[in-house]
Amino acid sequence: MVSSAIRSGVLSSERVLRMYNAVLVLNQDYQALSICSVERAVNLLLRHKAEMVAPRDGLVLRSPSITYPWPSVIRLKRYISLPYRKVALSRRNIMRRDGFRCQYCGSREKLTIDHVFPRSRGGRDTWENLVTACIPCNSRKGDRTPEEANMPLRRRPFRPSYVMFIRDCVNQIEDSWKPFLFLV
Ligand SMILES: [Zn+2]
């Protein structure tokens, strides 16, 4: 699809380079670990430090001596133990997780944070109990649960992975990355 977009002139090659220079790195246990450049990924692959999980459709890297599949997702062969990098629970990060949309009606305006299980009834400040909501939905729901208010959530709230928050450094998330970033 990408190469046909390039051929048809829809994407400039410069834009494609920026978009496609990011490779998702998985730990040995398939947990998303970081994002690296294509150069770094190929270096790890050629040194057998990592294996290809998903190549980028239709793209290859060429040098005079080799043709190599363009990496999209790679997995380290040895487990890297890192101190658990937690995403801070903050209003801003909850809204980022929720794509800056009300989780009840989808609105992008007048956003605030709602306790799914109301705070007045003991609902806690956790990733699983806090969602982005617009002020009208927030007031309509009041001190009720989504079930009581008959206001179903568009998606169950979850604790985001660290890598989900560095996705801002790439222009768009590849389909091949999604299973590793959103399976939380
Ligand atoms: Zn709303």
Helices (H), 21-161: 38-46, 91-97, 135-141, 146-149
Please report the pLDDT score of residue 167 as a whole number: 60
Please report the pLDDT score of residue 163 as a whole number: 67
Residue 133's pLDDT band, with cuts at 50, 70 and 90, is: very high
Residue 122's pLDDT band, with cuts at 50, 70 and 90, is: very high
Give the other-Cβ count within 10 Å of 19's Cβ: 15
What spacing in Å lies between the alpha carbon of 9 and ligand 1's midpoint? 40
Residue 170's pLDDT band, with cuts at 50, 70 and 90, is: low
pLDDT digits (tens, 9 = 90+) for 32-63: 888 888 889 999 999 999 999 999 888 888 87
Between 116 and 99, residue with greater pLDDT: 116
Please report the pLDDT score of residue 103 as a whole number: 97
**Is the pLDDT confidence value at 2 over 60?**
no
pTM of the shown model: 0.54
- 41 touches 23 (CB < 8 A): yes
Please report the pLDDT score of residue 39 as a whole number: 87
What spacing in Å lies between the alpha carbon of 134 and ligand 1's midpoint? 4
What spacing in Å lies between the alpha carbon of 108 and ligand 1's midpoint? 8
What spacing in Å lies between the alpha carbon of 96 and ligand 1's midpoint? 16
Pairwise CA distance, residues 11 & 7, whole Å: 8
What spacing in Å lies between the alpha carbon of 107 and ligand 1's midpoint? 5
**Is the pLDDT confidence value at 160 over 90?**
no
Cα 64–Cα 69–Cα 74 angle in degrees, nearest 5 = 130
Across 147-170, average pLDDT: 80
pLDDT digits (tens, 9 = 90+) for 54-99: 998 888 888 788 788 899 999 999 998 876 667 788 898 899 889 8
Please report the pLDDT score of residue 32 as a whole number: 81
Residues contacting 105, CB < 8 A, separation 6+: 134, 136, 137
Listed by start position, the domains of the chain span 2-83, 91-149
What spacing in Å lies between the alpha carbon of 142 and ligand 1's midpoint? 13
pLDDT digits (tens, 9 = 90+) for 6-16: 343 444 444 44
User: What's 65's DSSP letter?
Assistant: S
Assign residue 8 a region (left: φ > 0; alpha: ψ between -120 and 50; beta: otherwise): alpha
What spacing in Å lies between the alpha carbon of 91 and ligand 1's midpoint? 16
Please report the pLDDT score of residue 18 as a whole number: 53
Between 88 and 157, residue with greater pLDDT: 157
- 33 touches 27 (CB < 8 A): yes
Residues contacting 10, CB < 8 A, separation 6+: none
Query: What six digits make up the tokens of 131?
Result: 């969602």
The CATH fold assigned to 91-149 is DNA Binding (I), subunit A (1.10.30)
